[in-house]
């Protein structure tokens, strides 16, 4: 039994020695061939001696940093010959903006090819935090634009203009700050106003909820009403506009020719319409008398005298004991002014003026 235990211990020691020798040989080979490397866009925050990590756990050390044409070559070593996959990516990381960065290897080895010693991780798989790098580059660009080639005249002019623009604004700034401070010290008024607004909107919200059925019905029917307006009313409006086109063309043709005559007429017409609108009763009475007047007025043309109006005076009907004798006496004064009614010889028709003339002459 003692012999068997001794043999087992010897075999375990041999395996451990072989493993240690292999690991040491791998690490020594990587260092002899120049170590691993990564091409980074920049090396801000990286220094020789900084840690190389994987999933945040230190596995190596940065050996050197050398600037190159296409970027920065960062050479690093890995402890205990840790296997690194061939497609590993490299990023720089830091716990804060001001802290030194470490080189983080992204990707664990499972199987397949490994990253060989002296083989660099390319720029395509190397990344740096753009925030710090871009801020640094932008600051440098800003300084170059403000003072190109050391010329500070533009910067001095900008400062002078800024100083001129703020002259006299001190009292207003002071008033603003005092008002803001007062509002901050006594926020009760603002809070009370907000509370009043919420309280006043409560009845509106309550009524809206109570009438939500009507509101929902209106909203539901609105698409159909809009569709009807689009299909029925809008074509009518379009047709009306097209129908007005000839009228507008006629107006545009008449106005340049007869506008100087039409405008005074329209001014008079406006006054006439105003009078007609304000004296509707009188106009109605005048119009009602036109038919009876038209029956007694005739437009005639006489040779040598032109056109004129012939007015026939109104007639009256008179009852007489002997109509024929009565008309004979009237006709003796004005021939043809008196006639008897057909079928009733006691009823005569005579003009008012003729009757008056006959009475006076008699």
Residue 125 CA to residue 106 CA, distance in Å, equals 10
Is the pLDDT score of 82 beyond 70? Answer: yes
Q: What digits encode the pLDDT tens for the residues 257-316? A: 887 777 777 777 777 777 767 776 776 666 666 655 555 555 555 555 555 556 666 777
Residue 180 CA to residue 186 CA, distance in Å, equals 10
Residue 38 CA to residue 228 CA, distance in Å, equals 72
Q: What digits encode the pLDDT tens for the residues 232-248? A: 777 878 788 878 888 88
CB 338 within 8 Å of CB 354: yes
pLDDT at 21: 42
Q: Please report the beta strands in the chain, taking only residues with DSSP state E, as ranges in sequence order.
A: 36-40, 51-54, 57-67, 72-78, 89-93, 102-106, 120-121, 126-127, 297-302, 306-311, 315-319, 338-341, 344-351
Q: Nearest CA to 284 among 292, 276, 274?
A: 276
Range among 46-50, 333-337, 338-342 with highest mean pLDDT value:
46-50
Mean pLDDT of the chain: 75
pTM for the structure as a whole: 0.33
Q: What digits encode the pLDDT tens for the residues 90-122? A: 999 877 666 678 999 999 888 889 988 778 999
Residue 51 CA to residue 72 CA, distance in Å, equals 17
Q: What digits encode the pLDDT tens for the residues 24-44? A: 444 444 444 558 999 998 888
Residue 53 CA to residue 73 CA, distance in Å, equals 17
- Structure-model confidence comparison of residues 56 and 2, the more confident one: 56
Is the pLDDT score of 169 beyond 70? Answer: yes
Rounded to an integer, what is the distance from CA 110 to the centroid of its chain? Answer: 57
Least confident of 6-20, 103-117, 152-166: 6-20
Helix pair angle (130-146, 153-165), 10° resolution: 90
């Amino acid at each position: 039994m003692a012999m068997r235990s001794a043999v087992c211990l010897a075999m375990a020691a041999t395996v451990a020695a072989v493993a240690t020798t292999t690991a040491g040989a791998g690490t020594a080979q990587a260092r002899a061939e120049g170590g691993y490397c990564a091409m980074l866009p920049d090396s801000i925050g990286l220094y020789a001696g900084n840690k190389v990590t994987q999933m945040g756990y230190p596995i190596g050390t940065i050996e050197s940093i050398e600037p190159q044409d296409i970027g920065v070559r960062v050479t690093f070593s890995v402890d205990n010959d840790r296997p690194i996959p061939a497609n590993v990516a490299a990023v720089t990381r830091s716990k804060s903006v001001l802290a030194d960065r470490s080189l983080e290897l992204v990707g664990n080895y499972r199987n397949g090819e490994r990253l060989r010693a002296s083989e660099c991780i390319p720029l395509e798989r190397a990344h740096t935090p753009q925030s710090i790098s871009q801020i640094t580059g932008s600051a440098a660009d800003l300084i170059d634009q403000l003072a190109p080639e050391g010329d500070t005249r533009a910067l001095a002019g900008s400062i002078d203009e800024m100083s001129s623009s703020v002259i006299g604004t001190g009292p207003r700034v002071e008033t603003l700050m005092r008002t803001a401070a007062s509002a901050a010290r006594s926020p009760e008024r603002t809070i009370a106003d907000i509370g009043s607004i919420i309280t006043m909107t409560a009845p509106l919200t309550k009524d809206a909820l109570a009438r939500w059925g009507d509101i929902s019905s209106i909203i539901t029917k609105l698409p159909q009403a809009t569709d009807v307006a689009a299909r029925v009313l809008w074509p009518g409006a379009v047709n009306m506009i097209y129908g007005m086109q000839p009228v507008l063309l006629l107006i545009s043709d008449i106005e340049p020719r007869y506008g100087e005559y039409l405008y005074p007429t329209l001014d008079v017409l406006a006054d006439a319409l105003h009078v007609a609108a304000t004296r509707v009763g009188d106009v109605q009475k005048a119009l009602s008398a036109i038919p009876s007047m038209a029956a007694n007025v005739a437009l005639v043309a006489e040779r040598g005298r032109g056109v004129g109006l012939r007015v026939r005076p109104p007639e009256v009907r008179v009852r007489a004991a002997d109509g024929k004798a009565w008309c004979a006496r009237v006709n003796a004064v004005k021939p043809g002014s008196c006639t008897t009614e057909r079928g009733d010889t006691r009823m005569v028709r005579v003009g008012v003026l003729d009757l008056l003339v006959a009475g006076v002459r008699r």
